[in-house]
Amino acid sequence: MAYAPTINTQFDGNRKLIYSFQIDNTGGSTTGGTTIINVSDLATGKQNQPCTSIALNKIWFNVSTTAVADSATLQWENTGGDETFLVLAGYDDKNFSTIGGLVNPNTGGNANGDVNIVIPGHSSGDIYSIISEWIKYY
C-alpha cells in the first residue's frame, strides 16, 4: 500500500485556511511521504492577489505511532534545505494565536511559503490525524 493520506481543505477564506490530514495505517503500509500545503494553490485575496505564505495559528493532532522516530513533522519548504518547526507526537493541541501564529522566519529567496507535512516510514497500526488553522498572507 502506497502513501495515501486523506486530505481535506475544510475552509479556504480570505484570511484563514483550515486543513485536515489523516492516515489510518491499519493496512500495514511502511511507506512514508510528504504532503505539501502549496500556497499558490490557495484562494486569492480580496483584490485577487495570490497567497504568498501561511502562519500556523492553531493545531489539533493525534499522532499514535509505535516508534518515536515515526512522529509527524511540519517543515517550512526552503530550496536551501527544509526547516522543521514542529514535531507532532501523541495527542495534543497548540494555540499560537496570542503571538500571531508561527511565521516562517526565512523570508529570503530560498523560501516559497509552502509547508510540508512529513510522515516517515511507519508501522502497521500507526495513526496520524492533524487538523490545522493557518493565517494567510499576500
Residue whose cell numbers read 530560498: 110
Determine, yes or no, domain membership for 1: no
Determine, yes or no, domain membership for 128: yes
pTM of the model: 0.92
Per the structure, the count of domains in the chain is 1
Q: What are phi and psi of 30, to 5 degrees?
A: -120, 10
CATH of residue 57: 2.60.120
pLDDT in tens, 71-97: 999 999 988 889 999 999 999 999 999
Residue 124 · residue 28 · CB < 8 Å: yes
- pLDDT surpassing 60 at residue 118: yes
Determine, yes or no, domain membership for 69: yes
Question: Where are the extended beta strands (E) located within the chain?
Answer: 6-12, 16-24, 33-37, 53-64, 72-78, 83-88, 90-95, 111-119, 127-137
pLDDT at 96: 98
Which residue range is the domain that position 68 belongs to? 6-137
Look at residue 10 and give its three-state secondary structure. Answer: strand
In Å, how far from its chain's centre is CA 18?
10
